[in-house]
């Protein structure tokens, strides 16, 4: 984001630009509310208990890239290595004001082409429903075409979900930050496909899904590492840094 600002305003002193990642926080929802929301979701949007549960949570908008995953799943269904357990995809969120309704219709058309995947559009997620969605899912998929940060990505990690992401600016920064803190080449909480042409993305998503959905135990361990890292990214710390910058002026 700082690079974009400096490119658009080349005369500005770079020392005057500070980009502060938001961090995340725990949504206010009691365990009883989350349990009820979980029961509601599993009743309204049933799926076989053995199926892999994938979650996308964001507004319904072209830049969020939900269509990328639907296209990948349609391609995977035609192959013999499609998981025998089946896949359930939960698409949560409401249509954005700009282009959202038309894009939502496109997603529903794409979903009707799937014959081996269950696709549920769960709508707006309240704090309790958001936590419940994280609890019932195995993997968070974040296929955005553009993200300056990626708040829902961090929320999913904080909840203990491993992630499959496409390389938007926000996701790349988050993966790089986690890698640096872990002193490792990979953060260990999922995968990010490489930068590629749009036509290659479905195949790359399938390849990553095959690896990630090969072991529930491995996914659980990735989720534990995700939670440990993400809970160190507190919104209160970002607010304190912002306050210190303001006071210093």
List domains and CATH numbers for the chain: 33-233 (3.40.50.2000)
Residues in the chain: 249
**pLDDT of res. 185:** 44
* Least confident window among 18-22, 67-71, 201-205: 18-22
Q: What is the pLDDT of residues 27-66, one digit of tens each?
A: 889 999 999 999 999 999 999 999 999 999 999 999 999 9
Mean pLDDT of 87-115: 94
Query: How does residue 150 score in pLDDT terms, banded at 50, 70 and 90?
Result: confident
Query: How does residue 181 score in pLDDT terms, banded at 50, 70 and 90?
Result: low
- Model pTM score: 0.90
Query: How does residue 248 score in pLDDT terms, banded at 50, 70 and 90?
Result: confident
| Tokens read off for 56 | 């996308």
Query: How does residue 169 score in pLDDT terms, banded at 50, 70 and 90?
Result: confident
Mean of the per-residue pLDDT values of the chain: 91
Mean pLDDT of 185-193: 76
Beta bridge partner(s), residue 52 = 87
Burial of 97 (0-12, 13-18, 19+ CB in 10 A): exposed
**pLDDT of res. 180:** 61
Residue 249 predicted with pLDDT over 80? no
**pLDDT of res. 173:** 85
**pLDDT of res. 26:** 87
- Among 27, 93, 86, 45, which Cα is nearest to 65's? 93
Query: How does residue 219 score in pLDDT terms, banded at 50, 70 and 90?
Result: very high
- Among 77, 118, 49, 90, which Cα is nearest to 206's? 77
Residue 183 predicted with pLDDT over 60? no
Spell out the residues 6+ positions from residue 144 whose beta carbon is closer than 8 angstroms to its own. 58, 63, 64, 65, 150, 165, 166, 168, 170, 171
**Rounded CA separation 75/80 (Å):** 11
**Rounded CA separation 172/141 (Å):** 14
**pLDDT of res. 25:** 87
- Among 27, 34, 70, which Cα is nearest to 205's? 70
């Amino acid at each position: 984001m700082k690079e974009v600002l400096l490119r658009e305003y080349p005369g500005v002193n770079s020392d005057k630009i500070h980009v502060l990642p938001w961090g995340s926080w725990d949504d206010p929802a009691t365990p009883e509310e989350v349990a009820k929301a979980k029961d509601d979701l599993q009743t309204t949007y049933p799926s076989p208990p053995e199926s892999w549960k994938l979650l996308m949570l964001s507004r319904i908008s072209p830049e969020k890239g939900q269509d990328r995953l639907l296209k990948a799943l349609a391609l995977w269904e035609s192959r013999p290595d499609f998981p025998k357990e089946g896949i359930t995809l939960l698409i949560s969120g409401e249509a954005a004001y700009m282009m959202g309704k038309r894009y939502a219709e496109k997603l529903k058309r794409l979903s009707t082409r799937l014959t081996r995947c269950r696709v549920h559009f769960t709508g707006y997620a309240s704090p309790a429903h958001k936590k419940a969605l994280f609890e019932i899912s195995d993997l968070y998929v974040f296929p955005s075409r553009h993200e300056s940060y990626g708040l829902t990505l961090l929320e999913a990690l904080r909840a203990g979900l491993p992630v499959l992401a496409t390389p938007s600016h926000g996701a790349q920064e988050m993966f790089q930050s986690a890698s640096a803190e872990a002193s490792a080449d990979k953060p260990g909480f999922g995968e990010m496909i490489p930068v590629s042409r749009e036509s290659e993305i479905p195949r790359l998503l399938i390849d990553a899904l095959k690896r990630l959905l090969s072991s529930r135990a491995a996914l659980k361990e990735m989720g534990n590492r995700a939670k440990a890292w993400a809970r160190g990214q507190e919104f209160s710390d970002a607010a304190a840094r912002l306050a210190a910058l303001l006071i210093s002026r």
